[in-house]
């Protein structure tokens, strides 16, 4: 029922949303879930309306049955036939309304469970699940992800990271030096 919402929450939890966009996406998801909650409440109201119609039909059936019985006891064939016709109509409506109510209650139950599940997932996403950080805001380790310990690879990656940082620091220093040279040459 809420496929688009479930997909977006899955993207949040799966880390497929850019960190800069997470807050905006979570805010939009909260709005969408508020609207979804209204939809769940509408389903509940529809089921309640059907329940009320079913109760009214049962009362009408009881009245038609009572009239048929009275008409048969006072040998009034025409009235008894008419009452039997209405009794059959009310019986058929009751059967249809009972099936409709069963479907509405099942749909409401399903929608409510899906909504509750999405709400829990959105709360997890709001707490940072799917950001690549643990609950204590530290990066996930290989052990957290269930990966084997690969010291040579980790060492190589650390070396690459150090080299990248060095290149970035050198570029910053060069830029600062160029800016200083320009400033000194102008004054």
User: What is the value of pTM for the model shown?
Assistant: 0.59
Statement to judge: residues 105 and 158 lie in one domain: no
* pLDDT (0 to 100) of residue 1: 58
User: Is 142 among the domain residues?
Assistant: no
pLDDT tens digit sequence for 73-127: 988 899 999 999 999 999 999 999 999 999 999 999 999 998 888 888 877 777 7
Statement to judge: residues 158 and 186 lie in one domain: yes
Which residues, including other chains, have CB under 8 Å from residue 26's CB and lie 6 or more apart? 12, 122, 125, 126
Statement to judge: residues 130 and 156 lie in one domain: no
pLDDT tens digit sequence for 145-172: 455 666 776 677 788 888 888 988 999 9
Statement to judge: residues 35 and 122 lie in one domain: yes
Statement to judge: residues 126 and 69 lie in one domain: yes
Statement to judge: residues 51 and 112 lie in one domain: yes
Cβ neighbourhood burial of 122 (10 Å; 0-12, 13-18, 19+): buried
User: Is 143 among the domain residues?
Assistant: no
Number of domains in the chain: 2
User: What is the span of the domain harbouring residue 10?
Assistant: 3-136
User: Is 145 among the domain residues?
Assistant: no
Three-state DSSP at 41 gives helix
Statement to judge: residues 35 and 96 lie in one domain: yes
pLDDT tens digit sequence for 10-68: 777 777 777 777 778 778 888 888 888 898 999 999 999 999 999 999 999 999 999 99
* pLDDT (0 to 100) of residue 119: 85
Three-state DSSP at 130 gives coil
Tell me the sheet residues that pair with 139: 133
Statement to judge: residues 96 and 167 lie in one domain: no
CB of 52 within 8 A of CB of 106?
A: no
Place 70 in a pLDDT band, splitting at 50, 70 and 90.
very high
Statement to judge: residues 52 and 122 lie in one domain: yes
* pLDDT (0 to 100) of residue 64: 93
* pLDDT (0 to 100) of residue 7: 78
Tell me the sheet residues that pair with 133: 139
């Amino acid at each position: 029922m809420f496929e688009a919402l479930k997909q977006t929450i899955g993207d949040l939890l799966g880390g497929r949303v850019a960190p800069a966009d997470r807050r905006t996406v979570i805010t939009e998801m909260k709005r969408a879930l508020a609207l979804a909650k209204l939809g769940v409440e509408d389903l509940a109201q529809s089921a309640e309306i059907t329940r009320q119609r079913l109760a009214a039909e049962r009362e009408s059936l009881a009245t038609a049955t009572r009239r048929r019985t009275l008409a048969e006891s006072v040998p009034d064939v025409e009235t008894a036939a008419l009452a039997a016709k209405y009794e059959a109509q009310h019986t058929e409506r009751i059967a249809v309304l009972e099936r409709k109510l069963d479907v509405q209650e099942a749909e409401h139950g399903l929608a409510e469970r899906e909504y509750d599940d999405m709400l829990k997932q959105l709360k997890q996403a709001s707490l940072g699940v799917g950001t690549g950080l643990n609950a204590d805001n530290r990066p996930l380790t290989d052990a957290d992800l269930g990966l084997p310990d690969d010291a040579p690879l980790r060492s190589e990656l650390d070396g690459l990271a150090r080299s990248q940082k060095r290149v970035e620091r050198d570029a910053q220093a060069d830029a600062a030096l160029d800016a200083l040279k320009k400033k000194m040459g102008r004054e």
